[in-house]
Chain A
Amino acid sequence: MLLPLLLAAAAPLAQSPDGAEWALQTLPLPEGGVIEVSALTMWREDVVLLATRRGEVWSVSGVFDEDPMDCTWRKLMEGLQEPLGVLVEDDRSVLMVQRGELSRLIDEDGDGAFDLVETVCDDWYVGGNYHEYNFGPVRGGDGDLWLTTNRAFGGQPFGAPKWRGFALRIDAEGNMHPECSGLRSPAGVNAAPWGDLFYTDNQGEWCGASKLSHLVPGSFHGHPFGIESCNDELWPYPHPGQPPNRVLMPKVAEDLPHFQLPAVWFPYDEMGRSPAGFVWDQTGGRFGPYEGQVFVVDQFAAEVLRVCLEEVDGHWQGACIPFRKGLSCGAIRCCWGPDGSLLIGETDRGWASKGSETFGLERLSWTGENPFEIHTVSARPDGFHLSFTQELAPGAGEDPAAWSVESYTYMLHSDYGSPEVDRATLAVTGVERDADGKGLTVHMDGLRSGYVHELRPSGIQSASGTDLANARAYYTLVRIPKD
């Protein structure tokens, strides 16, 4: 299905579905190809370079031409083992991680296809379990390459190797340095514009809710599967210790020194189920009004989520907000096109996902129409400040009764996922409108550190009379600002 790129002249926005300001385009696939996109990047300016679960590498040219339906697919290589990430080095060279190694693919003769696969690092082993995925690489602010490794689920016919459930740093000499432990299913990893590393994790045992977390060297993220490896001499940090079972997350954070709470929890089913790839909006406004924010694709829900982050007292935290539903398939990878559109690589990889397809490549482009949505959420000592993408109608949201605020947290435990626990309703005590009319400070009693604060305003309209789209935000409050 092809949607027109520009919907500017479409129906009045108040009646448009949430996210309609972004047009979704499903790109044609090569005939007979099984394009379960597992790695996705731009290469040589306007060439889409992707890898598939089946180990093929493809280029797609012409995606950004006038008629992307005429784009050209070219198979560049095959025989990689479940590559799940790609990083461009230059026009002749890209890095990809396979199950057993970090590899450099080189186009020696410059014909656009790769002729050489160099082993960059294979300091880890594989136990032969389907879930021993590796994600990355991304280049950190330190210049080194970072990977995340998935824990195994079930049989490991070749033994139980070390370093499953870790963030690994690979230095310029190709040596591996484990940096963070306790990861579960870290399907996305990326470096922030300021160089810090973040990753997404999927809800399950020892991971009460899906999350976006900051990869602080030495940090422990809650899953004990691989922490035996922390006794190895390669682990330069203190052993994180065995996490307690059936304890509230904030309590674990108090008791276990290296345990790291996330930047953002994604409440289950409200905000997808399986967050994977994510990117920071650095399009300079070509993708819309969310410059500097994070877009996350979800493998189950076939949707794109939005996250805004801030650093409070040395901890990165923030809110997640719905962005755009209705992809054709669950997605695990995304990257920016040269025109500021978001390319989305899709596969359900044997799990059921929403959407009509089991794999595909789609593109989300901003129509140029300004939505009316929550722009940012940031914490205050006694509440939150919300900015909006458009000026609010006079008095909009200023009545405390217009706000429903609840907080809850999760258990750290060996069960699969955690219910939202220790739930409380917060009383909004007052609301102040920003001078420019585009923001509100919401004062309330009872903020709790280590809790998701779910903010649901109602009845808010813009100055031009549009209803607020996606009127909910989930702020993971780990640190309460002091002033």
Chain B
Amino acid sequence: MTTTLHLLLLTLAPHAGEDLGAAAVHLPLGERLIGERQCNACHAADEAALAMLVPKLAPTLDGVGARVAPGWVEAFLLDPHAERPGTTMPDQLASLPEAERGTAARELAHFLAQVDGPFHGEARGTSWGELERGRRLFHSSGCVACHAPQEEPWELELSLQEAEAQRAEESGDEEPLPFEGVIPDGTLKPRDLPLDHLAAKTERDALAAFLLDPLAVRPSGHMPNMELADDEAQAIASYLLRAQLVTEPAPTAGLRVDVLHGGFAGREDLNGIEAAEQTISAQVDLSATSRREAVGLRFTGSIEVPADGDWTFWTASDDGSWLWIDGERIVDNGGTHPTREREGTVQLTAGKHAFEVHFYEQGGGESLKAEWRGPGVERQVIPAEVFSHQGLGLQGPPTMEPDPETAQRGARRFQALGCMVCHRLDPRMPLLPGTKGNATLAELASNAGGSGCITPADGQRPRWPLEPAQLEAVRASLATLAQPAPELSAGEASARHLERMGCAYCHRRDGAGGVHPLNRDYYLAAEGADLGDEGRIPPHLDGVGSKLRQEAITAALVEGARVRPYMTARMPQFGDENVGWMAGAFHEADPELTWERTLADGAHLMQGLRLIGTEGGLGCIQCHDFAGTPSLGIRAVDLSTVARRIRPGWFHQLLKSPGSVNMNTRMAELWTDGRSPVTALYEGDPEPQIEAIWQVLQLGEGMPPPPGLNSPEAAFELSPINEVITCGVFWGGLSPRTLAVGFPELVHYAYDMQESRLGALWKGRFFNARGTWQGRAGSLEGPAGSQVVSLPEGMLLARLPDASAAWPAATGREAGVRARGRRQALGEAPEFHSSLGELDIHETLTPIARDGRTGFLREIALSSKDATAVEDVVARLLTGEQAVQVAEGHYRVQQGEREVHLVLVPTSDARGPAVGLEQGEVRLPVQFSSEPVFGGGEVHFATLAVEVTW
């Protein structure tokens, strides 16, 4: 690799001289500058002032030797503000005599080079495809919110090489067009944290590692974690370092092939996997390797397209394959399958384009073929003569072998210059105090005309050069900070922080921020997400505390939750310590919207489900995804996540009048003149309909598929929409002889026929019988819904003279329990029949709703002709970690997070109150009655009825 490519590292021409937006709205500029420069490290500040400033911490220097080129360190230290304008690093060498600075910088560079060094000096391999991927990711993921775009949106339509060629043709002297759009009030002036120093500073893998976990180096989160996959980080790093591109002298024929070993089923591409061998292949076929099982191939290179126009590409492969042109996936033929053909079409200009095919073979037969068709070219296997490749590499800045003695001197300087006041060399090391002998921040206010690190005495270099306006702002803020700090409201504190952390470059709230019009075209929607701006521009945050549950805000802020998969922009992760508190602040600032509800809680689930569906419902699933199943049309937010995220009052407001919540939503108003189009439910009254929908949405992932949902699972989904469904299955945790019974009230149970006992109760989705009915089947089933209540293992009944004594361990046949059968009319609830010795047991369960909870009325009828069989009979109804009596005949059992209520119906034949509570059990001693029977003898009988709700 000898030739350096002349790829222009373009910084877009600034729209100079125009008023492109506000420097700050809520956060005083001076406070921002003071906080970012961590002035408090030397100038002591009280707690209140620190709370106002939220100072940014300096980068941690462990690993710096491997991360940063020694030459750059030296140059940077020598003159930080020249090397990297706007850096928040002070010019620490300013305090030294000018003649000594060069030596100091060199010694420090040698010292830092040996901190976890050495710096990697060899070139790193890359490909045009990787550069294209990085280029797209950089511009569409949201990086441009803080770092200026490196290319114009229209240039991104071209390949990188084409765009460079066009740029080279233009002289570069053109005047930038003035910006003529409207900039909404409060929009912040675009931020341009420069990246053009990177090529001199670092190398590809080090930058990729930084991108994967920027908070490890920069703990304050101002450079957030973009949740990149390994290969995405590498691609962005390669793109940002493209000034380092070196190449083999000339393109050579064929495609470069990385041969990968291993199983790759389930992958979407083969990026980021280390190659076991590398070779060249004339065409896209299997000649590159003799391996025929557990192998992957990555073809990279260029394709020479002979003419402008639409080009169709095919791959036919066993197993999966994918094809990219200029980093864009054109053919998706992924998955493990017999030879299968897939195609895609793309508009291309004549000339070279980055070409990439990935293929994998899991096992069994294998095949691979790539074909094309375009203007003047009949469909054919892509011929060898159009392929070429050029070895591409990224050659970082030179490394250096640190001289131990020089480094030693650097270590001493590191201490003497106070570097350790701000920088840690090791995360465990404490920072050194730096405030001793310096004026406090408050005292600086009265030094307004004096000299110091930003206003040096004549002839000295400032440690922090500031623009006059910045200097004025800092002075003003110092004056403010000298006064007792005001108590900031939650709203004001979060508004300032949104600007401080850069959130406001994407999100608008309280009249500040939002994506700048200059940057809007970089924010894209995934293909097919026909949602307009809502599908690509990050949402505004006005009233977000009224809208979202606090957990949902937290999830978005610090848990990486993505609810808008159709948006290419990602929600950056700034770190819990840095932004976690904002969830609470939003909730404090934004009131909960009220909603007067009238329906019995949990008793209208099936109505809600019908309303969500398309068969006689409102058809929510036409636009909204449902528990992972794509919607029938546009891909609006998944309904199964709504109740987890949204607060009830806001939901009500949204459904009642979508326009009124100012969500910038495309959601349509569902009602006409205040009446619902669905007249079969609640006489078309929207209010109870909204409530019913809200009730069923509470089930989240446990919601059954609504009527009309079209998913591969649906063919096996058992949904008791109109009547009881009964299905015999292998049930995990119970027995392979279990009956699952589902009710339209969306409460369900599993009854173990092997042991003649109720096994589990749950709500929401009943279950999906794919594992029992598809193919050879035989899977263990379980509840598809949520809120599972488990029933005690072992016998329901035992004969115990001491009702609190240890429950017999024996179960089923061993314990004398026999299944006798069940009575059940089609579509109705069953009555189970079993026996314990001579005691006959009949049991039914009927759905009920009580006190805002739903569950079952469980009725157990016992009878025997044998008087001894009914002596000392005790029923064990429920167990948990804890059981308490709430009221007479009302018990509450704790099962994990779930509280299960058990209310004894007064007609039950119990010998006194429940026992066993102290062991977390509800046991009921049974009181039998007797009456004579025809033909002689007596029958002894008792009934128990309990409501089990949760």
By a beta-carbon cutoff of 8 Å, the part of chain A in contact with chain B is: 34, 53-55, 75-82, 98-101, 103-104, 113, 115-119, 122, 125-132, 157-158, 349-351
Query: In the bound complex, do residue B826 and residue A77 qualify as a contact, i.e. CB atoms below 8 Å apart?
Result: yes
- CA A126 – CA B736 in complex, angstroms? 6
Those of B617-664 within 8 Å (CB) of chain A: none
Q: Which residues from A are CB-within-8-Å of B736? A: 99-100, 126-128, 132, 157-158
Known: A54-B769, A117-B823, A126-B730. 20 other contacts (CB 8 A): A54-B727, A55-B727, A79-B830, A100-B736, A100-B753, A101-B819, A104-B821, A115-B824, A116-B822, A119-B820, A122-B819, A125-B754, A129-B778, A130-B776, A130-B778, A132-B736, A158-B730, A349-B776, A350-B774, A351-B776
Which one of A98, A113, A132 contacts B825 once the chains associate, using CB atoms below 8 Å? A113
Query: In the bound complex, do residue A116 and residue B778 qualify as a contact, i.e. CB atoms below 8 Å apart?
Result: no
- CA A75 – CA B822 in complex, angstroms? 18
Given A79-B728, A82-B728, A101-B737, the answer on whether A128 and B776 have CB atoms closer than 8 Å is no
Query: In the bound complex, do residue B776 and residue A350 qualify as a contact, i.e. CB atoms below 8 Å apart?
Result: yes
Which one of A115, A119, A158 contacts B823 once the chains associate, using CB atoms below 8 Å? A115
Which one of B732, B777, B825 contacts A130 once the chains associate, using CB atoms below 8 Å? B777
Q: Which residues from A are CB-within-8-Å of B735? A: 126, 158
Q: Which residues from A are CB-within-8-Å of B775? A: 350
Query: In the bound complex, do residue B820 and residue A78 qualify as a contact, i.e. CB atoms below 8 Å apart?
Result: no
Query: In the bound complex, do residue B819 and residue A128 qualify as a contact, i.e. CB atoms below 8 Å apart?
Result: no
Which one of A75, A101, A118 contacts B826 once the chains associate, using CB atoms below 8 Å? A75
Query: In the bound complex, do residue B821 and residue A116 qualify as a contact, i.e. CB atoms below 8 Å apart?
Result: yes
For the complex, is B944 an interface residue (Cβ under 8 Å from A)? no
Those of B734-768 within 8 Å (CB) of chain A: 735-737, 739, 741, 753-754
Some 19 contacts from A to B, beta carbons below 8 A apart, are A55-B728, A75-B826, A82-B728, A98-B728, A99-B728, A100-B736, A115-B824, A116-B821, A116-B822, A117-B824, A118-B821, A119-B818, A119-B819, A119-B820, A125-B754, A126-B735, A128-B736, A130-B777, A157-B730
Query: In the bound complex, do residue A78 and residue B819 qualify as a contact, i.e. CB atoms below 8 Å apart?
Result: no
For the complex, is B726 an interface residue (Cβ under 8 Å from A)? yes
Query: In the bound complex, do residue A99 and residue B737 qualify as a contact, i.e. CB atoms below 8 Å apart?
Result: yes
Closest A residue to B834 by beta carbon equals A119
- CA A104 – CA B822 in complex, angstroms? 11
Q: Which residues from B are CB-within-8-Å of A53? A: 773
- CA A357 – CA B390 in complex, angstroms? 54
Q: Which residues from B are CB-within-8-Å of A80? A: 728
Q: Which residues from B are CB-within-8-Å of A101? A: 737, 753, 819
- CA A82 – CA B725 in complex, angstroms? 16
Q: Which residues from A are CB-within-8-Å of B826? A: 75-78, 113
- CA A129 – CA B737 in complex, angstroms? 11
A118 to chain B, nearest CB (A): 4
Closest B residue to A127 by beta carbon equals B736
Given A101-B737, A127-B736, A350-B777, the answer on whether A79 and B819 have CB atoms closer than 8 Å is no
Closest A residue to B740 by beta carbon equals A79
B725 to chain A, nearest CB (A): 7
Which one of A78, A117, A132 contacts B821 once the chains associate, using CB atoms below 8 Å? A117
Which one of B730, B739, B753 contacts A128 once the chains associate, using CB atoms below 8 Å? B730
Which one of A81, A116, A128, A350 contacts B728 once the chains associate, using CB atoms below 8 Å? A81
Closest A residue to B735 by beta carbon equals A158
Query: In the bound complex, do residue B823 and residue A116 qualify as a contact, i.e. CB atoms below 8 Å apart?
Result: yes
Closest A residue to B818 by beta carbon equals A119
Give the number of residues in B that approach A within 8 Å (Cβ atoms). Answer: 32
For the complex, is B473 an interface residue (Cβ under 8 Å from A)? no
What is the interface of chain A mostly: helix, strand, loop, or mixed?
Answer: loop
For the complex, is B780 an interface residue (Cβ under 8 Å from A)? yes
Closest 3 CB pairs of A and B: A130-B778, A81-B728, A79-B726
B608 to chain A, nearest CB (A): 25
Closest A residue to B728 by beta carbon equals A81
For the complex, is B524 an interface residue (Cβ under 8 Å from A)? no
Closest B residue to A75 by beta carbon equals B826
Q: Which residues from A are CB-within-8-Å of B732? A: 157
B737 to chain A, nearest CB (A): 3
A212 to chain B, nearest CB (A): 24
Q: Which residues from A are CB-within-8-Å of B729? A: 81
B662 to chain A, nearest CB (A): 45
A349 to chain B, nearest CB (A): 7
Closest A residue to B727 by beta carbon equals A79
Query: In the bound complex, do residue A157 and residue B780 qualify as a contact, i.e. CB atoms below 8 Å apart?
Result: yes
A344 to chain B, nearest CB (A): 22
Closest B residue to A78 by beta carbon equals B726
Closest B residue to A34 by beta carbon equals B773
- CA A130 – CA B822 in complex, angstroms? 24
A33 to chain B, nearest CB (A): 13
Query: In the bound complex, do residue A100 and residue B754 qualify as a contact, i.e. CB atoms below 8 Å apart?
Result: yes
- CA A101 – CA B736 in complex, angstroms? 12
Fill in one digit per residue for B67-111: 1 if any A CB lies within 8 Å of its CB, else 0. Answer: 000000000000000000000000000000000000000000000
A412 to chain B, nearest CB (A): 26
Q: Which residues from B are CB-within-8-Å of A76? A: 826
Q: Which residues from A are CB-within-8-Å of B822? A: 116-117
Query: In the bound complex, do residue A54 and residue B773 qualify as a contact, i.e. CB atoms below 8 Å apart?
Result: yes
A112 to chain B, nearest CB (A): 11
- CA A126 – CA B727 in complex, angstroms? 17
Query: In the bound complex, do residue B776 and residue A118 qualify as a contact, i.e. CB atoms below 8 Å apart?
Result: no
B92 to chain A, nearest CB (A): 68
B88 to chain A, nearest CB (A): 61
Query: In the bound complex, do residue A100 and residue B737 qualify as a contact, i.e. CB atoms below 8 Å apart?
Result: yes
Q: Which residues from B are CB-within-8-Å of A75? A: 826
Query: In the bound complex, do residue A115 and residue B825 qualify as a contact, i.e. CB atoms below 8 Å apart?
Result: yes
- CA A350 – CA B822 in complex, angstroms? 30
- CA A423 – CA B282 in complex, angstroms? 53
Which one of A54, A55, A128 contacts B780 once the chains associate, using CB atoms below 8 Å? A128
Q: Which residues from B are CB-within-8-Å of A55? A: 727-728
- CA A126 – CA B773 in complex, angstroms? 18
- CA A101 – CA B824 in complex, angstroms? 17
A123 to chain B, nearest CB (A): 9
Closest B residue to A53 by beta carbon equals B773
Those of B713-731 within 8 Å (CB) of chain A: 725-730
B622 to chain A, nearest CB (A): 23
Q: Which residues from A are CB-within-8-Å of B727? A: 54-55, 78-79
- CA A127 – CA B727 in complex, angstroms? 18
Q: Which residues from B are CB-within-8-Å of A126? A: 730, 735-737, 754
- CA A113 – CA B735 in complex, angstroms? 28
- CA A349 – CA B777 in complex, angstroms? 9
Closest B residue to A155 by beta carbon equals B778
Q: Which residues from B are CB-within-8-Å of A118? A: 820-821
Q: Which residues from B are CB-within-8-Å of A158? A: 730, 735-736
Closest B residue to A117 by beta carbon equals B821
B716 to chain A, nearest CB (A): 10
- CA A119 – CA B818 in complex, angstroms? 9
- CA A351 – CA B775 in complex, angstroms? 7
Those of B815-862 within 8 Å (CB) of chain A: 818-826, 830
- CA A98 – CA B776 in complex, angstroms? 17
Of A125, A128, A132, most B-chain CB atoms within 10 Å = A128
- CA A104 – CA B725 in complex, angstroms? 21
A345 to chain B, nearest CB (A): 17
Q: Which residues from A are CB-within-8-Å of B741? A: 79
Q: Which residues from A are CB-within-8-Å of B726? A: 78-79
- CA A129 – CA B774 in complex, angstroms? 15
Query: In the bound complex, do residue A119 and residue B821 qualify as a contact, i.e. CB atoms below 8 Å apart?
Result: yes
A80 to chain B, nearest CB (A): 6
Closest B residue to A76 by beta carbon equals B826
Q: Which residues from B are CB-within-8-Å of A350? A: 774-777
Q: Which residues from A are CB-within-8-Å of B739? A: 79, 81
- CA A53 – CA B778 in complex, angstroms? 12
A260 to chain B, nearest CB (A): 29
- CA A53 – CA B728 in complex, angstroms? 11
Q: Which residues from A are CB-within-8-Å of B754? A: 100, 125-126
- CA A100 – CA B756 in complex, angstroms? 12
- CA A224 – CA B777 in complex, angstroms? 25
Closest B residue to A130 by beta carbon equals B778
Query: In the bound complex, do residue B821 and residue A103 qualify as a contact, i.e. CB atoms below 8 Å apart?
Result: yes
